[in-house]
């Protein structure tokens, strides 16, 4: 993994993790599914406009169209939709922590479905990451937490696993920004169909809501998604997914600063173990030095 990929992964992890805090602010004053549908529609319009300005076109490969549909449904409608709904009842930091379990799901699916090889240190690193997540979650759950919200987040993480693996189909053929914009439209359409069955279209307007919504549209919505596609195309789904282990650190930190959510010593221990797990995974990807003769 080169330096550029590492910086891309760090930037993606921070942007992605910050979305949990902005989402928590949004759902306090607006219906989650309607809000998310509107966010995706605006992001889609901006994304396609940028793609056209860059000279990109609609001529995607069959694999890319498949990725647009799968990513739009699984990542946008299911993963983010379930997380937005869940954050009506659980903290933003806990949602970020649960999302970080996704790399193990990706690694397991990659191994069982695609024949990916996992080196021993890779497997140990992934396990270490999950242990760290378990420590943080155990501390949070002992203090009382809504189990329905937790379940929705885990289901969302499973859906995100499917979306992540589908990006393999989008790594060739170019037109990345066009793919980003089109999959936003897919998510918007699906959520708009579902929202009337679960929500009433009412909201409380405020500057706080407007700022959180604008940030969510532009940064986690467009920029982070583009970086994610580019990162997976550069280093592969399993390696890229390890950056999700940074979600607890960034997610807890941003939520603590902006929302005043608690940060205990077990959170620090858990994040430290997760960081060790990331290091193990990344070291396992290094090519061994040639043997001198």
Structure confidence by residue, pLDDT tens digits, 114-166: 777 777 887 887 788 778 878 877 877 777 777 888 889 889 988 888 777 76
Q: For residue 238, what are its two tokens?
A: 């399993």
- What pLDDT is stored for residue 92 in this prediction? 85
Cα distance from N-terminal residue to C-terminal residue, the chain: 27
Secondary structure tally for the chain: helices H, strands E = 14, 0
Predicted TM-score (pTM) of this structure: 0.80
Q: For residue 28, what are its two tokens?
A: 């306090």
H/E stretch holding 142 reads helix 120-142
Q: For residue 266, what are its two tokens?
A: 């077990």
Mean pLDDT confidence for 102-108: 73
Q: What percent of the chain has pLDDT over 70?
A: 91
């Amino acid at each position: 993994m080169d330096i550029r990929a590492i910086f891309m992964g760090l930037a993606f992890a921070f942007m992605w993790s910050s979305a949990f805090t902005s989402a928590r602010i949004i759902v306090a004053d607006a219906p989650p599914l309607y809000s998310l549908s509107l966010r995706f529609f605006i992001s889609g319009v901006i994304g396609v406009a940028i793609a056209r300005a860059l000279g990109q076109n609609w001529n995607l490969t069959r694999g890319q169209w498949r990725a647009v549909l799968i990513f739009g449904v699984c990542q946008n409608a299911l993963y983010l939709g379930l997380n937005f709904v869940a954050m009506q009842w659980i903290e933003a930091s806990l949602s970020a922590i649960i999302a970080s379990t996704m790399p193990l799901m990706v690694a397991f699916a990659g191994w069982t479905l695609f024949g990916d090889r996992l080196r021993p240190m890779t497997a140990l690193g992934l396990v270490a990451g999950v242990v760290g997540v378990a420590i943080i979650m155990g501390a949070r759950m002992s203090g009382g937490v809504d189990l329905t919200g937790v379940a929705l987040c885990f289901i969302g993480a499973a859906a995100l696993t499917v979306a992540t693996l589908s990006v393999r189909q989008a790594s060739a053929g170019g037109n990345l920004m066009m793919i980003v914009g089109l999959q936003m439209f897919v998510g918007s359409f699906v959520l708009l169909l579902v929202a009337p069955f679960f929500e009433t279209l009412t909201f409380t307007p405020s500057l706080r809501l407007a700022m959180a919504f604008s940030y969510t549209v532009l940064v986690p919505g467009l920029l982070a998604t583009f970086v994610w596609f580019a990162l997976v195309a550069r280093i592969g789904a399993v390696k890229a997914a390890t950056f999700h282990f940074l979600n607890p650190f960034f997610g807890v930190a941003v939520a603590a600063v902006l929302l005043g959510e608690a940060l205990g010593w077990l959170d620090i221990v858990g994040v430290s173990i997760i960081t060790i797990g990331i290091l193990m995974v990344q070291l396992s990807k290094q090519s061994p030095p040639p043997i001198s003769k």
